[in-house]
Amino acid sequence: MRRSICIFIVALICLSNISYSQNINIPADSIANLLCRKWVMDYAMMGGTKIGKMPGATESNYEFYKDRTFVLTNNTNSTKVKGAWSYDQSKKNIKLTIEGRSNVKIISLKDDQLEMLVDTKDATPDDPMAINIFYKLSH
């Protein structure tokens, strides 16, 4: 009985869909220096599951600029989408805006990695799920 309870608790922890909130904890005047580079998609986390890049799948890549703009490209065609970024000091995240829509935020920014949180409630209102996408520096 004790073993069954332990297994149940471990399974519950593994299957839980808890989203751990992160914050950007660097000085506001350092954000642009750290952010303004080329970033390529590394992997995603959805529902607690790590999803690696699949061969041939479309992946979004970003290049951020110090004038608070960015260009979003993908690896399958030459389409470029321009947007703007803004740092929200009170929420400690970076909001990305494309054509007036802001459903993506950068919630963690490090020297070699950034983490984006994608809000899917507009795309999947019946089953909104947080998608965290991790990017690494382009080489």
Q: Give the 3-state DSSP-derived string for the chain, with helices as H, strands as E and coil as C.
A: CHHHHHHHHHHHHHHCCCCCCCCCCCCHHHHHHHHCCEEEEEEEEECCEEEECCCCCCCEEEEECCCCEEEEEECCCCCEEEEEEEEECCCCEEEEEECCEEEEEEEEECCCEEEEEECCCCCCCCCCCCEEEEEEECC
Q: Comparing C-alpha atoms, which of 117, 121, 130 is closest to residue 22?
A: 117
User: Which residues are 108's β-sheet partners?
Assistant: 115
CATH number for the domain spanning 33: value is 2.40.128.370
Tell me, yes or no, whether 90 lies in a domain: yes
**pLDDT tens digits for range 86-134:** 999 999 999 999 999 998 999 999 999 999 999 876 655 666 677 999 9
- Computed over every residue of the chain, the mean pLDDT equals 81
Total domains in the chain come to 1
Tell me, yes or no, whether 11 lies in a domain: no
The residue that leads in pLDDT, 76 or 65, is: 65
- In the predicted model, is pLDDT for residue 8 greater than 70? no
Owning domain of residue 85? 29-137
- In the predicted model, is pLDDT for residue 43 greater than 70? yes
- In the predicted model, is pLDDT for residue 11 greater than 70? no
User: Which residues are 95's β-sheet partners?
Assistant: 86, 105
Tell me, yes or no, whether 102 lies in a domain: yes
Tell me, yes or no, whether 7 lies in a domain: no
Tell me, yes or no, whether 9 lies in a domain: no
**pLDDT tens digits for range 14-27:** 333 333 456 788 88
Distance between CA atoms of residues 114 and 112, nearest Å: 7
